[in-house]
A = this chain, B = another copy of it.
Amino acid sequence: MLYTPINFKEKLSKFTEHWSPKVVAEMNDYQFKLVKVEGEFVWHDHPDTDEVFIVIEGVLDIEFRDGKVTLESGEMFVIPKGIEHKPVAASECKVMIVEPRGVVNTGDAESSLKAQNDVWI
């Protein structure tokens, strides 16, 4: 049998909206999600889990209350659980997120940017 790889570019071609992560794979109870981002997200945190951002294409700033990190293609960062952060992208950026199944993009924050969870492409 020929198994099918999960191709990031092909998956990213399937949607256009921003700040709406799409699940492409599960490993145990963790999910790998692809998301397109542009502009400013909301300040939020995830009280129960770390969160990984891997930049596929573009540039992503992640602001913290005491500083920031800038990620380019081929770079990653682990947001520790409970740490407030705000992703910001000056122009469209394509990102992979890794986190446990069930994590909502806006964490504990109330926001119109809250995306439907567990949407697969």
Interface residues of A in 28-80 (CB under 8 A from B): 28, 30, 32, 49-52, 56, 62, 64, 66-72, 74-78
B52 touches A25 (CB 8 A): yes
Could you tell me the distance in whole angstroms from the C-beta of A34 to the nearest C-beta in chain B?
A: 11
Chain B hits for A99, CB < 8 A: 27
Chain B hits for A75, CB < 8 A: 5-8
Copies of the polypeptide in the assembly:
2
A77 touches B7 (CB 8 A): no
Inter-chain CA distance A67–B2, complex, in Å, is: 6
Given A50-B28, A52-B27, the answer on whether A68 and B2 have CB atoms closer than 8 Å is yes
B76 touches A6 (CB 8 A): yes
- Decide yes or no whether A100 CB sits under 8 A from chain B: yes
B68 touches A98 (CB 8 A): no
| 0 or 1 for each of A82-103: is its CB under 8 Å from B? (1 = yes) | 0000000000000000111000
Given A28-B50, A51-B27, the answer on whether A3 and B68 have CB atoms closer than 8 Å is yes
Q: Residues of A with Cβ closer than 8 Å to B?
A: 1-9, 24-28, 30, 32, 49-52, 56, 62, 64, 66-72, 74-78, 81, 98-100
